[in-house]
Amino acid sequence: MKPIAIFRHAAIEGPGYLAEFLDERNISWQLIRIDAGDAVPQTASEFSGLVFMGGPMSVNDELPWIPSALSLIRDGYNKDIPLLGHCLGGQLISKALGGMVTHNLVKEIGWGEVTVTDNDVARNWFGSLNKFQAFHWHGETFTLPQGSTHLLSSAYCVNQAYALGKHLALQCHVEMTPVMIESWCTSGAGEIAASSSPAVMSVSEIQRRMADELPKMKEAAAQLYATWIRGLPE
């Protein structure tokens, strides 16, 4: 099998638990470090899947790599190569496939409940899971591309996930690990302190709840990733 390409857009926003999940199943993957100047491949044909992680930028920013990333996503979609996006990554997929990315009504940071939509597609991705505490860190939101199916919502953001066939886009961060959460809390402490959003949790509360919430979110992530890898070519 060709490797899965995983795109990192910020040094502290790597693949996290997804890397562990793939390694445990001996699925090869290649990290493409956009933050370190790695070039976006011109074609998706050399990969079995394309995964896009988070980042502090907006897909609407005029950054030199964004048009190339959008083009690669469209190439992967047209070639039926599975796409997976986390937060910024989900927004990239949405914009590439005809959706829009705009400001969310409020910023979401920290733990927050997401509810699985009641439809057959959501059941395929989430199994018997109806809701769980996801990790959030975003101020923007995406619309659903034509033909996609809504999967998740939260009290502060309606579009938390959607599927389009074998492709999955998430607004929330299910890939988190303890190290990632601690590093984000350190680097983002100023942003949290400056926010007046009712959906922004304090650093102390994020850390206090991590031991309880992270294992349950990991189970949800494993369910999603297991469904996603079934779409990979043999």
Residues 7 and 50: their CA atoms lie apart, in Å, by 8
Determine the pLDDT at residue 234. Answer: 77
Burial (Cβ within 10 Å: 0-12, 13-18, ≥19) of residue 194: exposed
Residue 232 to residues 47, 73, 167: CA-CA distances in angstroms? 10, 15, 10
- Provide the CATH number for the domain around residue 55: 3.40.50.880
Is 120 within the bounds of a domain?
yes
CA separation (Å) from 189 to 27, 58, 93, 160, 201? 35, 20, 28, 24, 11
In a domain, 234, yes or no: no
Instruction: Walk along the chain (234 residues) and give the pLDDT tens digit of each residue.
Output: 999 999 999 999 999 999 999 999 999 999 999 999 999 999 999 999 999 999 999 999 999 999 999 999 999 999 999 999 999 999 999 999 999 999 999 999 999 999 999 999 999 999 999 999 999 999 999 999 999 999 999 999 999 999 999 999 999 999 999 999 999 999 999 999 999 999 999 999 999 999 999 999 999 999 999 999 999 997
* Domain count across the chain: 1
Which tokens in the block code for residue 104? 């969310």
Neighbours of 152 (CB within 10 A): 26
Q: What whole-number distance in Å separates Cα of residue 146 and Cα of residue 115? A: 22
219 in any annotated domain: yes
C-beta neighbour count of 119 within 10 angstroms: 12
Residue 21, domain member (yes or no): yes
Q: Residue 109 falls within a domain, yes or no?
A: yes
Question: Does residue 159 belong to any structural domain of this protein?
Answer: yes
Residue 170 three-state SS: strand
Burial class (CB in 10 A: 0-12, 13-18, 19+), 201: buried
Question: In angstroms, rounded to a whole number, what is the distance separating the alpha carbons of residues 124 and 120?
Answer: 6
Task: Return the exposure string of 46-66: e unless at least 16 CB atoms fall within 10 Å of the residue's CB, then b.
Answer: ebbbbbbbbbbbbbeeeeebb
Question: For residues 32 and 8, is the Cβ–Cβ distance under 8 A?
Answer: yes
Distance, in Å, from the CA atom of 89 to the CA atom of 43, rounded to the nearest integer, reads: 18
CA separation for the pair 219, 201 (Å, rounded): 23
Residue range of the domain that includes 147 = 4-229
pLDDT of residue 44: 98
Query: Within a domain: residue 216?
Result: yes
83 within 8 A of 167, measured Cβ to Cβ:
yes
